[in-house]
Amino acid sequence: MKFGARVLKTGLAVSIAMYAALMFDFTSAIFAGIAAVFSIQPSIYRSYQYVLQQIEANLLGAVIAIIMVTVIGNDPMIIGFTIILVMTICMGFQMKQEIIMLAVVSVIAIMESTDMPFVEFAGTRVSSVFIGIFAAFLVNLIFLPPKYETRLFRQIEQTSNETLQWIRLSSRHLSDQPALKDEIEKLIEDITKLDHIYLLFSEERMYSRKSRYTRARKLVLFRQLIHTSKKSLEVLRTLQRYDKTLGHLTPDLKGRIVNEIDYLIHTHEKLVMMCMGKIREDTEKEDQFDEDHDISALLEDVIEHTKVNRDAWQFLPLAGNLMDYENQLEHLKRLLGSYQQFHKQETIKTESHDL
């Protein structure tokens, strides 16, 4: 289990919320802590985006709870019905799950039995929840702001490296099929995680015009890196699907497919390292790896082979995937070259000392 910045910020927000509630002599500091837990967001932008909804959810839950206690009472069955009612209304407003839970916290806090005057009791409980919301907002704003650019690139690099290693093994029939199947499932999850981190990164806001322009180009570059990683995973899945039937191809054709795959892997690895600044921009002129590279000719030969051996038809998807993969790599190469040409002083953040 990872100890990350969000874990630390959650604990800090709870502590601040409870201390603040105790400073005001609220007897319900625990509800301030619970509200802080549900109010922590993964980015500063989302903190701004959802703080109003959090306040609205708290007020909605509080108003309905006060009405129910005043009119009907606070029997456990009534509390359960009130929670159902509040959740239904919140879902009608399309609120997020954690915001709905915040409204539920308000309902439970207010409808608890008490010997205090009810108005005073309800006021302290609502205020406690508000303190939790604002404590989480301040912690999100001030402490350890997330650096999703670094996280995103690290995840892209890791996912790409693992995928390319398995492609290299599978193209030579060296991979263990059960292990490969498990790895593909893990890689699919990693790609989903990539999309999520990219979304969080895209939500970060820049305030200068120049920064926004640079960032827009960087977002396009990252999106293409992710798309290229997805294409490499498609190649791996195709290799895994047809591993047992590769014997239908001639040794020469098999060798050419392996060479083509090696070329694409080499290109992909090189582009990722260029993003990291580990390879000079002029290495393209010195690279002799692609002397025998011609995927169009390979595809034509596979089609010719299918006329002789109908069993080889199933390899056309592999050839098509390789061609599509090459197109994505070419597009990535152009985007990277353009980015490096117009933003020489701006580097992709690949290193971090954050938690």
pLDDT, residue 44, reads 77
Average pLDDT over residues 312-316: 66
pLDDT, residue 307, reads 60
Checking if the pLDDT of 220 tops 80, the result is yes
**Range of the structural domain that residue 101 is part of:** 5-142
- Nearest to residue 58, comparing CAs of 107, 14, 22? 107
Q: Are residues 175 and 320 in the same domain?
A: yes
Q: Tell me the pLDDT tens digit for each residue of 339-352.
A: 887 766 666 666 65
Average pLDDT over residues 307-332: 79
Structurally, how many domains does the chain consist of? 2
The distance of Cα 312 from the centroid of its chain, to the nearest Å, equals 38
Q: Are residues 125 and 156 in the same domain?
A: no
Q: Are residues 183 and 240 in the same domain?
A: yes
pLDDT, residue 283, reads 56
Please tell me the pTM assigned to this model: 0.74
Q: pLDDT higher for 126 or 248? A: 126
CB 152 within 8 A of CB 18: no
Token representation of residue 43: 């980015």
Is residue 354 in some structural domain? no
Average pLDDT over residues 12-18: 93
Q: Coil, strand or helix: which one is 316?
A: helix
Give me the phi and psi of 239, to 5 degrees please: -60, -40
Q: Are residues 161 and 49 in the same domain?
A: no
Q: Are residues 78 and 171 in the same domain?
A: no
pLDDT, residue 353, reads 43
Is residue 178 in some structural domain? yes
pLDDT, residue 208, reads 63
- Nearest to residue 346, comparing CAs of 206, 225, 154? 206
Q: How far apart are CA 190 and CA 156, in angstroms?
A: 9
Checking if the pLDDT of 121 tops 80, the result is yes
Token representation of residue 142: 């001030």
Among 16-25, 204-213, 257-266, 305-314, the range scoring the smallest mean pLDDT is 305-314
Confidence class of residue 276 from pLDDT cuts 50, 70 and 90?
Answer: confident
Q: Coil, strand or helix: which one is 172?
A: coil
Checking if the pLDDT of 135 tops 50, the result is yes
Q: Tell me the pLDDT tens digit for each residue of 235-248.
A: 999 988 877 766 66
Token representation of residue 277: 């600044």
Helix axis angle, 118-142 relative to 44-71, nearest 10°? Answer: 170
Place of tokens 């108005």: 119
Confidence class of residue 326 from pLDDT cuts 50, 70 and 90?
Answer: very high
Close Cβ partners of 55 (under 8 Å, ≥ 6 residues apart): 130, 133
pLDDT, residue 69, reads 92
Query: What are the percentages of helix, strand and coil residues in the chain, rounded to 5?
Result: 80, 0, 20
Give me the phi and psi of 354, to 5 degrees please: -70, 165
CATH number for the domain harbouring residue 288 = 1.20.58
Q: Are residues 311 and 215 in the same domain?
A: yes
* DSSP output for 179-232: HHHHHHHHHHHHHHHHHHHHHHHHH----SHHHHHHHHHHHHHHHHHHHHHHHH
Token representation of residue 151: 């996280």
Final residue of a structural domain among 83, 108, 142: 142
